[in-house]
Structure 1
């Protein structure tokens, strides 16, 4: 039996207000339950980027990655038991991907009312996700990103189709995945899809892009 995921009333309200109103939330929470051990109750991932943020990620991308883990096209031993077909059939993949996609994690602390108790404040702060600013030349990062990355990941870093959202993701995690691509330890998700771009960038350009992504996270939040 999957453990039940605790779900705060505030986040539940956000879920109901989401355009994805047809979700079976109870079923989705049940499916996501085992994932929360690593990715957190609200899908924010690990505090140091050891586990990626999955909240707000594009559903097509999430579903694609779950299938890649299941088929071991993307090798990650801790993920295999959870993505195995007996544990996560296609319909469950679609449901949990849609569920995670509609979770919003604010990048600014909320404004509390005088009557808000300590638990209310704690729960609200647990959902705030602010990625620390990465070092680098933000202007150069903007130029490089818009020239080489925006076509797939979107001009604002929110992703597009099967290409993931990058803004709001942990810098350490992004750097680890970039290194894995460059070492061919992680295959490209779509064969032939601009697979040479990373190889054309210098280490400085990559670091500057990471700095740029952390600099625009509040813009990303404001544009929701």
Structure 2
């Protein structure tokens, strides 16, 4: 059973981990908004603050498990989120991507007002906690073997669009790049991808990569659905995927 304080925090924690990055406020818990998309001086990945601190710390997986308890009520014990896209899959995500997104939320460079109060140092700890939980997700959580997908009616079109537009950053198989902070999008729930994609296109994901935002402006509704349906079906390496019915042994 979850600890009581963790349960309360988790019930309100709504997380989203895809493309992002911006100037990070100095560590310590006082948020500072960075430059938004379209503003002069905006940098997609400026680094600094808690992000840089967490990146240089040795992760403690035991503490990562404790921190993950806060996340598990929404993202599930296995880190699979929900196939309807309400919550994304976090299992198997690159640790640098997780670190960046948590640091951005805490610094108010990525808007997530529901999650923000529960992601603060007073709730989960400082940069060490960010490093710990990011490593725990990457190392201990196996990915959902049956992620949410689209209707499968336009996959050839989606494949063409993916190969022409997405491989440079996310790779041919959707694996992303830990060192470049590009997220793993293979096996991510279709409905979640659809929502975040739309927010990026509309400028609501303030820490999104501006190159991606520009690139997708010309995509039609058909293009969007097709490419994201195809993306959701990209297969992660077998060693990252859990068997059907897998339960996280840390919470049994």
Matched, 1:104 2:142: yes
Offset at 1:50? 0.4
Partner of 2:176: 159
**Unmatched segments (≥5 aa) in structure 1:** 5-21, 108-128
Pairing of 1:181-200 with structure 2 (within 5 A) = 181-190=200-209, 192-200=210-218
Superposition TM-score, scaled by structure 2 size: 0.66
Higher relative contact order (CA 8 A, sep 6+): 2
Shift of 1:154: 1.4
Counterpart-to-counterpart distance in 2, 1:215 and 1:54: 16
Q: Name the SS for the 2:122 alignment partner.
A: coil
2:77 corresponds to which residue? 41
| Residue 132 of structure 2, aligned match among 74, 95, 119 | 95
Deviations 1:23-72 (A, max 9, x none): 53321110111111111101111242101111111111111110111011
Answer yes or no: is 1:203 the counterpart of 2:249.
no
Q: Secondary structure at the match of 2:217?
A: helix
1:83 shift after superposition: 1.7
1:156 deviates by 0.4
CA shift in 2, pair 1:3/1:187, >3 Å: closer
Q: Which runs of 5+ in 2 are unaligned?
A: 8-57, 241-252
CA contact (8 A) 1:136 1:207 kept: no
Residue pair 1:106, 1:221 contacting (<8 A) in 2 also: no
Measured after TM superposition, the shift of residue 99 of structure 1 is 1.0
Q: Which of 58, 72, 90 is equivalent to 2:108?
A: 72
Give secondary structure in 1 for the equivalent of 2:149: coil
1:210 and 1:131 map into 2 onto residues whose CA distance is: 11
Q: Distance in 2 between matches of 1:131 and 1:139?
A: 19
